[in-house]
Amino acid sequence: MADLSRKSARPLSPHLQIYRPMLTMMMSIVHRITGSALYVGTLLLVWWLVAAAAGPAYFEVADGFFGSIVGQLILFGYTWALLHHMLGGIRHFIWDFGHGHGAEARELLAKGTLAGSIVLTILVWIVVIILR
């Protein structure tokens, strides 16, 4: 059995204070955050659907919330989180097939994920505003 009283010669695991932040590392963190945010946004979506099924009075409350400035900002953020998380998943799918592991390809995919999510979010909202 190993002597646990001795100081281990193994190095400690590095942490965020040691590593220099890189775009791919930040995108990984944002991917996890957007995944968590999607749970909250989905609960709001369920609230809206339940209110629609419950009747006009309940739906008016939910629709009034989502029609407010705060509600619109939440919906905009939810749209961005959904699209960013989706594009991050596609980026990981590409990596799963063994592509995009080089330094330049990783940076390009990370930048594409960020730019693509912003552009797609704006396009979705332009279409929604036009169709209203």
Residue found under tokens 């990596």:
95
Q: Is 92 annotated as a binding residue?
A: no
Per residue, the 3-state secondary structure of 2-52, as one string, reads: CCCCCCCCCCCCCCCCCCCCCHHHHHHHHHHHHHHHHHHHHHHHHHHHHHH
The Cα 76–Cα 6 span in angstroms is 55
Residues annotated in a binding site? 85
Residues annotated in a binding site for heme? 85
